[in-house]
C-alpha cells in the first residue's frame, strides 16, 4: 500500500478540484477589478543611444533604458480586463507632506485566482500593471461639474504567490499583488490621456490629477513676481532730474545698479531708431537700437552725447541682452553658407554633429 500523501508532483485531480472551488469562491465573493494590461515600452523611434535601443517588436520583456534600468514610456492595452480579486478594506489617514495630501496606509494587498488571471489576461500580473477599483469610484467630487466620477487607480508594485493561496496539495492557487496609488506620471500617460467618458474631451488627467491646479498656482505666483519685478534692476521712472545744464533736458540719467532701461530722464520724448535724425533739436534724445546693448544719446547742440547703455532686461521671456536669453532661452537660428538653417541653441555634445556641407 503506497504512503498516504496529498502532495503530488503535478497538478492532480485534487488540485484541480480545489482550484475550481477557489475560483468559484473568488467569482462569488470577490470584488471586480479592472486591469490595464502593460504591453511594453513605446517605440521611441530610431536612436543612436545603444543603451536605449529600438526594439523590432513591442513586448512586455523589452527594457527601455538599459543604463538606468527603467521603463518610462509605457504602453497599455486600451481594452480593460475584468478580474475578481480579494483584499482587506482598511481605514486610511491623510498625511500632509510638502507635496500636498498623501494617503497613508493606502497600500493594498490584493489576491487573484492564478489560473483565472492567466486565462483572462494571458499572463500573470506584473509590476506596472494598473488596477482600477470600480467599487471605490467617487461620485461626489468637490467640483460637481466634472463630467464623470473620480476613479480609483492603483499600480502594482510587487506580485508574488500568496502564502494563503497554498492548498493541502502544496500547490499555489492565488497570486498576491501589492498595489499603491497611481501617480500622474510619464509612465501612465496612456491611461490618463483617455477621455473621462465618451461624451467629453476632458481626459482622466484633466479630471483627476492636480497637475492643472498646480500650474494655475504656479502662474499666479509668477504673475505676482512679474508685477513686483518686471525687469531686472531698478526703475527710476517716477524720479525727476532738474535740467540744470541748459534748462532744456537733463544731460544725465539717474545712476545706479541696473537702472538703464532706455527711457530718457523725466519721461521726455525719445526717438527710437538705428540712425541719428538729420536736423536734431538741442536736448533731443535718441535710442539707438543698432547698438548692443541699445544706447541712449542726447543732442547737446553740437554732439550726440551717450547718456546710458540699456542694461535692464525682461526676466522671464527670451531676449538677447542677457546670458539667460542668449544661452538658455535662445530661439535664434543660424543660416549656414550652404543654405541650411540650424538652431543657435546647441548642446556641446552634439556640436560636431551638425549637418555636413552639401558636396558639389
Partner 1 sequence: MGQFFYDKQIRRFMNQFVRIFSDMYVEFGKDINGNSVLYRVPCRYADTNRQVAAIMRQNSDNSINAVPAMVVYITKVDYDRARMQEPKFVDNISLRSRANDPLTGNVSSNQGQNFSVNRLMPAPYRLTVNMEIWTSNFDQKLQLWEQISAQFNPDMEIQSTDNYLDWTSLSYILLTGTNWSTRNIPVGSDDPIDVATFTFELPIWITTPAKLLRLGIVQSVVANVYDALGNPSQALIDQTNNLGNRQYFYTNWL
Site for partner 1 in 209-268 (CB under 8 A): 209-211, 213-215, 217-218, 221-222, 224-226, 228-242, 254, 256-257, 259, 266-268
For partner 1, the binding residue among 14, 65, 77, 206 (CB under 8 A) is 65
For residues 131 and 117, give the distance between their C-alpha atoms in angstroms, rounded to a whole number: 13
In the complex, least distance from residue 171 CB atom to partner 1, rounded to whole angstroms: 27
In the complex, least distance from residue 125 CB atom to partner 1, rounded to whole angstroms: 16
For residues 175 and 303, give the distance between their C-alpha atoms in angstroms, rounded to a whole number: 89
Chain Cα centroid distance, residue 298: 50
Core vs surface per residue 21-40: b (16+ CB within 10 A) or e: ebbeebeeebbebebbbbbb
Cell triple for 117: 488571471
Stretch that binds partner 1, among 21-29, 32-40, 140-148, 287-295 (CB under 8 A): 140-148
For residues 271 and 285, give the distance between their C-alpha atoms in angstroms, rounded to a whole number: 6
- Determine if 100 is a binding residue for partner 1 (CB under 8 A): yes
For partner 1, the binding residue among 143, 303, 356, 359 (CB under 8 A) is 143
- Determine if 303 is a binding residue for partner 1 (CB under 8 A): no
Binding-site size for partner 1 (CB under 8 A) equals 84
Name which of 289, 283, 287 is nearest 297 in CA terms: 287
- Determine if 77 is a binding residue for partner 1 (CB under 8 A): no
In the complex, least distance from residue 4 CB atom to partner 1, rounded to whole angstroms: 41
For partner 1, the binding residue among 289, 315, 321, 346 (CB under 8 A) is 315
In the complex, least distance from residue 141 CB atom to partner 1, rounded to whole angstroms: 4
Handedness of CA 180, 183, 188, 194 (dihedral sign): positive
* Count of positions (residues) in the chain: 360
Stretch that binds partner 1, among 32-40, 70-78, 168-176, 333-341 (CB under 8 A): 70-78
Nearer to partner 1, 225 or 336 (CB): 225
Nearer to partner 1, 135 or 358 (CB): 135
- Determine if 165 is a binding residue for partner 1 (CB under 8 A): no
Name which of 12, 27, 25 is nearest 170 in CA terms: 12
Nearer to partner 1, 92 or 332 (CB): 92
Cell triple for 246: 541748459
**Left (φ > 0), alpha (ψ -120 to 50) or beta: where does 266 sit?**
left
For residues 156 and 37, give the distance between their C-alpha atoms in angstroms, rounded to a whole number: 11
Which residues ranging from 37 to 56 are in contact with partner 1 (CB under 8 A)? 42, 44-46
Cell triple for 5: 500523501
Amino acid at each position: 500500500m503506497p504512503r498516504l500523501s496529498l502532495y503530488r508532483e503535478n497538478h492532480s485531480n485534487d488540485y484541480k478540484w480545489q482550484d475550481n472551488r477557489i475560483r468559484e469562491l473568488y467569482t462569488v465573493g470577490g470584488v471586480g477589478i479592472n486591469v490595464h494590461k502593460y504591453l511594453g515600452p513605446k517605440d521611441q523611434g530610431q536612436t543612436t543611444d545603444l543603451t536605449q535601443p529600438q526594439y523590432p517588436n513591442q513586448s512586455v520583456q523589452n527594457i527601455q533604458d538599459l543604463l538606468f534600468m527603467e521603463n518610462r514610456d509605457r504602453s497599455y492595452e486600451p481594452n480593460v480586463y475584468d478580474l475578481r480579486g480579494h483584499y482587506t478594506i482598511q481605514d486610511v489617514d491623510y498625511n500632509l507632506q510638502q507635496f500636498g495630501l498623501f494617503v497613508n496606509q493606502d497600500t493594498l494587498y490584493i489576491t487573484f485566482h492564478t489560473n483565472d488571471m492567466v486565462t483572462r489576461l494571458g499572463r500573470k500580473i506584473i509590476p506596472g500593471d494598473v488596477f482600477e477599483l470600480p467599487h471605490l469610484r467617487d461620485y461626489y467630487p468637490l467640483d460637481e461639474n466634472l463630467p464623470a466620477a473620480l476613479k480609483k487607480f492603483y499600480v502594482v508594485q510587487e506580485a508574488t504567490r500568496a502564502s494563503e493561496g497554498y492548498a493541502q496539495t502544496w500547490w499555489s492557487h492565488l497570486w498576491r499583488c501589492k498595489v499603491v496609488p497611481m501617480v500622474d506620471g510619464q509612465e501612465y500617460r496612456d491611461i490618463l490621456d483617455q477621455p473621462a467618458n465618451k461624451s467629453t474631451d476632458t481626459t482622466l488627467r484633466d479630471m483627476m490629477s492636480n497637475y492643472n491646479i498646480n500650474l494655475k498656482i504656479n502662474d499666479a505666483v509668477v504673475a505676482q513676481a512679474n508685477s513686483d519685478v518686471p525687469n531686472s534692476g531698478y526703475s527710476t521712472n517716477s524720479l525727476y532730474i532738474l535740467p540744470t545744464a541748459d534748462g532744456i533736458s537733463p544731460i544725465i540719467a539717474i545712476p545706479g545698479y541696473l537702472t538703464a532701461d532706455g527711457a530718457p530722464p523725466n519721461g521726455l520724448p525719445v526717438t527710437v531708431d538705428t540712425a541719428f535724425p538729420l536736423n536734431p533739436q538741442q536736448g533731443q534724445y535718441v535710442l539707438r537700437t543698432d547698438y548692443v546693448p541699445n544706447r541712449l544719446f542726447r543732442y547737446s547742440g553740437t554732439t550726440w552725447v551717450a547718456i546710458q547703455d540699456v542694461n535692464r532686461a525682461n526676466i522671464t521671456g527670451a531676449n538677447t541682452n542677457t546670458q539667460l536669453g542668449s544661452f538658455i532661452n535662445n530661439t535664434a537660428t543660424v543660416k549656414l553658407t550652404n543654405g541650411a538653417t540650424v538652431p543657435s541653441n546647441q548642446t556641446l555634445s552634439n556640436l560636431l554633429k551638425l549637418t555636413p556641407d552639401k558636396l558639389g
